[in-house]
Structure 1
Amino acid sequence: MNEDRGRAAADGTASEGYLPIAEHGLIGDLRTAALVGTDGRINWFCAPRFDSPSIFGALLDARDGGHWHLSPVGDVATRQQYYFPDTNILMTRMLTENGIVEIQDFMPIRAEGDRDHRQRLVRRVVSVRGSARIRTVIAPRMNYGRDPHKVEPQPHGVRFTSEALDISLQASVVLHAEDQDAVGEFDLTEGQSVLFVLESTAPTRAEPSIDLVDAQAAEELFGATVRFWRQWLGQSTYTGRWREMVHRSALTLKLLTHEPTGAIVAAPTLGLPEQVGGERNWDYRYVWIRDAAFSLHALLRLGFTREAQAFISWLTDCLRGARDGDHVPLRVLYSIDGSAELPEQVLDHWEGYRGSAPVRVGNGAADQLQLDIYGELFDAIYLFNKHGDGISHESWMDLCTILDWLLEHWDSPDAGIWETRAGQQRHTYSRVMCWVAVERMIRMARQRGLPGDLGRWMAERDKIYHQIMEQGWSAQDQTFVQRLSGDPEEPPESILDASLLVMPMVKFLSPKDPRFRSTVDAIGASLVTDSLVFRYDPKLSPDGLDGTEGTFSICSFWWVEALARTGQVDAARVALEKMFTYANHLGLYAEQIGMTGEHLGNFPQAFTHLALISAATSLDGFMG
């Protein structure tokens, strides 16, 4: 960041031009996604994949990031957004003094077997009532704003050309080039509409494959997109009390799925801060083994076995790398295509969301050791083996290879589930999930008669269990704690961690166990505020970063489950209903919730939505 922009961030002026994170909706095509603000601006869009460089990046730099503005000229009294029922088609309504304008945003889904499909972002603006003058500004900034481009007029729009990417924009109105942008103004009377279709491709002179400025062609694409989402959602087996929130979370998880590979990304964004003005800004457009495993679990609970099978296929390739001699069987995260090389770099020419620098691309956590991922992964595979098609012989042998490695390394310090950057520690949650990994392998071997050294596996499982109970339990404070003591005779530090709420969920302890009940009480007294749950207290457990963070939404949904499992069903229901009030207007959640209810961190977050599904389905069961 240069000196002038640093001063702007410090005095608050850098917030100009930024919508709150929660004031966005998400659209996508199972390859990438875009964030659309309630003001009609597309502030984030990468193509052709989630982890491609951005085309529109105003979310992270309002001045130089690039955007697509589409809105009535003049004052807008009210702005509202909703999803077309049971779809991921976003409708943005704007009420002016002269009428009502609606913007329909969606990305068509590639039909199975369609080899001619092109990636498109469709925007249709309609005058619902009265009349309106509409202005649009299409201002792409390629490669995170680093690559120059040219603007060339076309018969039905414009083309933006750069070294690495071409963008063809068709429109049913005339657009004019202004510097690097395309601009248009037009009048709409009641019932009239205007179409825009953006296609991104590798550099080519080819014309778009279909003239979508034709109203009938666009309507057919709209209808096909509606049918896709409704047919997909129709597979859900959920019939519980919170259908709307659960199904919106399922639709969001599906949007975060890269269909060609089966990978599930943690979020479609990068750099959104955990504290406005702070440095906790990460790139989440990758596949975290932990997040994806939890997502698989959530989708299986709703009956979406096809997505589970696709992810298992993607995962098989990662497992094969372990069997082929990778120095560590699994990395914490991978790119969509399975690469573990994700070097972290800083986009120092961008100021960050509301001055929250640095803006990081890539993620250094890829090189961390996080032992808990083995438990989450093996638990998901266990469930898939139980409720899905079952795993193959080759996959079982891959798992055995990984388990052999884990049995030699489970007692190592690691970075833990929260990916701290303060050095490795002996995390209790990591030990619990190592226990889960070994225990699930024993279960699968017994259930299917699969080969394995059960005697060794059971001995190591029991060692892990006893270590947790002896070194992860504070007799003085009557709670499990974040880190193990260095010696069985020494009491551990009295640091609470909300990840320990999952102990009964993974069947490590009974929810009726007095040790778990007292841990829930301790977490409730120290880390919970109005159903919102902090991960841990950074003052007691420094994580190597400056600043603070908000409450972590996945922990808040874990809190709901913990209350329900310990018999506090009414309190669990109240906590769940409170959490629903913290969703944005579309039912979406960022990673964290701040002091005044603002959304913080990358958005929307798969971790949060899968935890919502788990909490709601579990609480349904307890309520009968």
Structure 2
Amino acid sequence: MANLDLGIIGNCNISALVDGKGSIVWSCFPRLDGDAVFNSLLNDADRSGGDGEFSLQLVDQVHSQQEYLPNSAILRTVLSDRHGGLVEIIDFTPRFALYERIYRPPMIVRRIQPLQGRPRIRVRLRPRFGNGGVVPQITRGSNHVRYVSADQTLRLTTSAPISYVIEERSFVLDRPFDMILGSDESLQAGIEATARDLYERTVEHWRSWVRSLSIPFEWQDAVIRAAITLKICNFEETGAIVAALTTSIPEAPDTQRNWDYRFCWLRDAYFVIHALNRLGVTRMMEDYLRFIGDIVEGASEDGLRPVYGITRDSSIDETVAEHLKGYRGLGPVRLGNQAHLQVQNDVYGSIVLASTHAFFDRRLTHPGDATLFEQLERLGQRAIAVFDQPDAGPWELRTSAHAHTFSAVMCWAACDRLAKIASHIGSRDRATFWRREADRLHAAICDRAWNAELGTFVSTFDGADMDATLLLLHEVDFLDAADPRFAATVDAVAAALRTGDFLYRYVAEDDFGRPKTAFVICVFWYIDALAAIGRKAEARALFEQVLDKRNPLGLLSEDIDPRTGELWGNFPQTYSMVGLINCATRLSRHWEEAF
């Protein structure tokens, strides 16, 4: 049965999910949001059919183990059979500097070699185009196979016996072979030499990238894996950051909460670059600032959308892929996301918060200027106009709208940061204006979002319910950590939402009933809040417990069953990996304290 004990490989153009047996069960070509040509994760409830899968099956297999090569996005899987045979699979997507730019082709490389005995292996390569609905035509050459549809062609070039690959016939693995799957292009050198060169350059690229990180003293391996994962979720060509690499892995069984996350949410992306900035990843931040700069430049008077395609496409209407059964048969499988039509008023704060880096971070090669400030001021004016208006909120309610506290606070944050930017660039009159507006919004939010009877901030104006975004009131500087209202709110959120080691995002009934699983990022927000109010020992203990719930390769999805620890929701979830990084950097001892 399918599960989320998966590894990911990627190069900031394409990615692939690999299960514990070395099968590629999800991958989109020719980019992160493209055609899901490998889709068995969502189309094979009992994992017996093999369509939409790229597997290397060891005959009489009894065991497998998996790990990443240190400080890289290269995955190593070792399969063992009952006769003592061992096979090693090295999976990666090439990524390295070439001709003064990053080479990141839509290509998967698999290097297979026997380690022990005379193992027998079967290659099952069954791409399905049209998101699983189209069986390709197959043509062959002396060392390659072409998989052809009307819209796309993939070519496998390999040193394995081509006939055995096409016929899915097992053969004795008595020597290494390589498999290079990608665009319909001939190699310019031998197969083995090409695969070896791509491997060596990719290893060095990732290890060099990791060496540039400013990591905390404690939990280094966890932080490095989270940082690499976030980088893989970056569509580097435009700077967009997807929320996850998959679509329609349910938040919980039998809930219909199946969404496509292969798009860029302005809210999520801000938190991603903020976390990576703490690690010194400035290039990715600059790329994202360029992405949102183009969004701001082209914004209409109707305002910003909460989510965009990775090329800023705003036409990502939701459809259902009827021919895909869904994860464990739990459909529907949705393509596109209707949230792009929602009103989510926190987007103005998300844009301004992210753009603030351009004015204050001296490492950036393209600092903010008067033109950018003027563009941001237009967003600030929108924030003033809508801060107290009903919207779908951060949790994207589909059939109801309220004046959400988080949305209002993010609108305040837009005004607050604009005041700081104006002061920094020497515009006193604008600094005065934006500070006055920020103070006005702050007072209004405190008046309507603070429930005096309950003694806590609440999730909506004049409401009584709790939601986990209230834990961010200090993170975005709305409240000082020493403010007793913040500590009271932290305790109230935990009392209402915590189950075991995790927190629900809210417990009120929504469009699909009551949530059944906890939202992983919420526990990281809680841990951060505990540390901020001085309960650091408690925060550290909880953080260690949460780290134990990662999958065997150190990855997290969107949701978790707090009772069983089973991961649910789209995978890997950038929000979750961001939370891990933030908590580790906040809680870790300093290097000087460690010796």
Q: What is the TM-score with the length of structure 2 in the denominator?
A: 0.94
Q: Give the equivalent residue in structure 1 for 2:515.
A: 548
Residue 70 of structure 1 pairs with residue 56 of structure 2: yes
The secondary structure found in structure 1 opposite 2:170 is strand
Alignment of 1:470-485 (within 5 A): 470-485=447-462
| Correspondent of 1:88 among 62, 68, 73 | 73
Counterpart of 1:327 in structure 2 is 301
- For 2:293 and 2:287, locate their aligned partners in 1 and report how far apart those are by CA, in whole Å: 10
2: CA distance, partners of 1:524 / 1:101: 48
Contact 1:136 1:183 in 2 (8 A): yes
Q: Please provide the CA RMSD for this pair.
A: 2.0
Partner of 2:474: 504
Tell me the CA shift for residue 366 of structure 1. 0.4
Tell me by how many angstroms 1:543 deviates. 2.0
Is the contact made by 1:279 and 1:545 (CA closer than 8 Å) also made in structure 2? yes
Aligned partner letter, 1:608 = S
Alignment partner, residue 109 of structure 1: 95
- Look up the equivalent residue of 1:48 and give its one-letter code: P
SS of residue paired to 2:146 = strand
Could you tell me which runs of 5 or more consecutive residues in structure 2 were left unpaired when the two chains were aligned. Answer: none
Amino acid at match of 1:72: L
Q: Residues 564 and 622 of structure 1 are in contact (CA less than 8 Å); yes or no, is this contact kept in structure 2?
A: no
Q: 1:182 to 1:299 in 2, by over 3 A?
A: farther
Secondary structure of 1:27's aligned partner: strand
Question: How far 1:464 sits from its partner (Å)?
Answer: 1.8
Q: 1:430 to 1:622 in 2, by over 3 A?
A: farther
Distance 1:561 1:619 in 2: 8
**Distance verdict in 2 for CA 1:370–1:212, change over 3 Å:** farther
**1:163 paired residue number:** 150
User: How far is 1:422 from its partner?
Assistant: 2.7
Paired position in structure 1 for 2:581: 613
Pairing 1:49–2:16 present: no
Deviation for aligned residue 1:289:
0.5
Greater displacement, 383-392 / 149-158: 383-392
Cα distance in 2, alignment partners of residues 137 and 327 from structure 1: 52
Tell me: CA distance 1:408–1:116, structure 2 relative to 1, closer, same or farther (3 Å).
Answer: closer
- Structural mapping, 1:363-512, within 5 Å: 363-387=337-361, 388-389=363-364, 390-450=367-427, 453-485=430-462, 492-493=463-464, 495-512=465-482
Structure 1 residue 147, shift from structure 2 partner = 2.6
Q: Does 1:341 align with 2:321?
A: no
When residues 392 and 240 of structure 1 are mapped into structure 2, their CA distance, relative to the original with a 3 A threshold, is same
The 1-side partners of 2:103 and 2:556 are apart by 35
Could you tell me whether the CA contact under 8 Å between 2:12 and 2:232 is conserved in 1?
Answer: yes
Please list, as runs of the form range in 1=range in 2, the aligned pairs for 1:270-289 lying within 5 A after superposition.
270-289=247-266
Q: Which residue of 2 aligns with 1:213?
A: 191
1:582 matched to 2:549? The reply is yes
Report the equivalent of 1:312.
Answer: 289
Partner AA of 2:506 in structure 1: Y
- Output the TM-score relative to the length of structure 1: 0.90
Determine the C-alpha separation between the residues in 1 that align with 2:570 and 2:373. Answer: 35
Is residue 223 of structure 1 aligned with residue 200 of structure 2? yes
Supply the distance in 2 between the matched residues of 1:211 and 1:501 (Cα, whole angstroms).
55
The residue that corresponds to 1:488 in the other structure is none
Cα distance in 1, alignment partners of residues 491 and 358 from structure 2: 33
Give the Cα separation in 1 of the matches to 2:429 and 2:60.
Answer: 71
8 Å Cα contact 1:64-1:141 kept in structure 2: no
Partner of 1:352: 326
Is the 8 Å Cα contact of residues 277 and 354 (structure 1) preserved in structure 2?
no
Farther off after superposition, 372-381 or 419-428 = 372-381
Aligned twin of 1:28: 10
Return the offset for 1:598. Answer: 0.8
| Amino acid of the structure 2 residue aligned with 1:200 | S
Write the distance in 1 (CA, Å) between the matches of 2:456 and 2:495: 12
1:443 is displaced (CA, Å) by 0.6
Change (3 A) 1:510 1:464: same
- How many residue pairs were aligned? 582
Q: How does 1:83-232 map to 2 (within 5 A)?
A: 83-97=68-82, 98-109=84-95, 111-113=97-99, 118-176=105-163, 183-189=168-174, 192-201=175-184, 207-211=185-189, 213-214=191-192, 216-232=193-209
- Does the residue aligned with 2:261 lie in a helix, a strand or coil? coil
Question: What letter matches 1:105 in structure 2?
Answer: D
Deviation at 1:496, TM superposition (A): 1.0
The answer to whether residue 511 in structure 2 is matched with residue 533 in structure 1 is no
Q: Does 1:262 align with 2:239?
A: yes
Give the Å deviation of 1:272: 0.6
The offset of 1:53, in angstroms, is 1.4
**Pair 1:64–1:327, CA change in 2 (3 A):** farther
Where 1:517 maps in the other structure, the secondary structure is: helix
2:36 maps to 1:61: no
Q: Give the 3-state SS of the residue equivalent to 2:73 in structure 1.
A: coil
Shift in Å, 1:230: 0.7
Q: By how many angstroms is 1:523 displaced?
A: 1.7
| CA–CA distance in structure 1, aligned partners of residues 278 and 242 of structure 2 | 19
- How far apart are the structure 2 equivalents of 1:115 and 1:240? 30
Is the CA contact 1:86–1:230 (under 8 Å) kept in the aligned structure 2? yes
Letter in 1 for 2:183: S
Give the superposition deviation at 1:284. Answer: 0.5
Which whole-Å CA distance do the structure 1 matches of 2:447 and 2:368 have between them? 35
Listed one character per residue, the Cα deviations across residues 226-264 of structure 1 (whole Å, up to 9, x for unaligned) are 011011111111142111111111100111111111111
